[in-house]
Amino acid sequence: MRAVIQRVSEASCTVDRKVVGAIGDGFVVLLGIEDADEQDDVRWLAQKIANLRVFGDDDGLMNKSLHDIGGSVLLISQFTLFAQTKKGNRPSFIRAAKPDKAVPLYEAMIAALAAQLGREVATGVFGADMKVSLVNDGPVTIVMDTKDKDSH
């Protein structure tokens, strides 16, 4: 499971010209799910995202988490995070999980993040053509991969 986490001051997701999810301060999380991913990856990543300290404290240091600022999450499924570009110019997405595997894990991530944060998580629409607008604050962008969870 791979996540691109962007600290934002505001963000929204539109499908068919209708806003389906919107937040103020918090994170836009672009989430890629691959065939090897399991519930353990969901739990680990949700905890890391919820506790990631990249918001400024009174001294301007990145010491605060979503909990500390009352921040929100806009979670967007994005299979293209597992694009393979080694050969040719057209990416291969063979590592990305098919919907029958990805949808339950995406829904589990929504629930896990909501439980970690104690509030609803805004989302896009899985598999839809989405337009994501955001104001990247900083900019701060962090990439996490659950394959790294066991390394030091």
pLDDT tens by residue, the chain, 152 residues: 999 999 999 999 999 999 999 999 999 999 999 999 999 999 999 999 999 999 999 998 999 999 999 999 999 999 999 988 988 899 999 889 999 999 999 999 999 999 999 999 999 999 999 999 999 999 999 999 999 887 54
CA max distance for the chain? 49
Domain of 66, CATH number, reads 3.50.80.10
**Residues annotated catalytic, as ranges:** 80
Assess contact for 51 and 67: CB atoms under 8 A. Answer: yes
Q: Is 25 exposed, middle or buried (0-12, 13-18, 19+ CB in 10 A)?
A: middle
The pLDDT, as a whole number, for residue 151 is 58
Which pair of structure tokens corresponds to residue 64? 């605060």
What does the alpha-carbon distance between residue 42 and residue 133 come to, in Å, rounded to a whole number?
Answer: 25
Main-chain dihedrals φ then ψ at residue 24, nearest 5 degrees: -95, -130
pLDDT at 138: 94
CA-derived radius of gyration, the chain: 15
- pTM value is 0.94
Domain range for 137: 2-148
pLDDT attached to residue 148: 87
Look at the alpha carbons of 21, 117, 149, 152 in this order and tell me if their dihedral is positive or negative: positive
Domains: count for the chain = 1
Which uninterrupted H or E stretch holds 25? none
Q: Which 8-state DSSP code applies to residue 86?
A: S
Cite the DSSP H helix spans in 3-134: 39-51, 66-69, 99-117
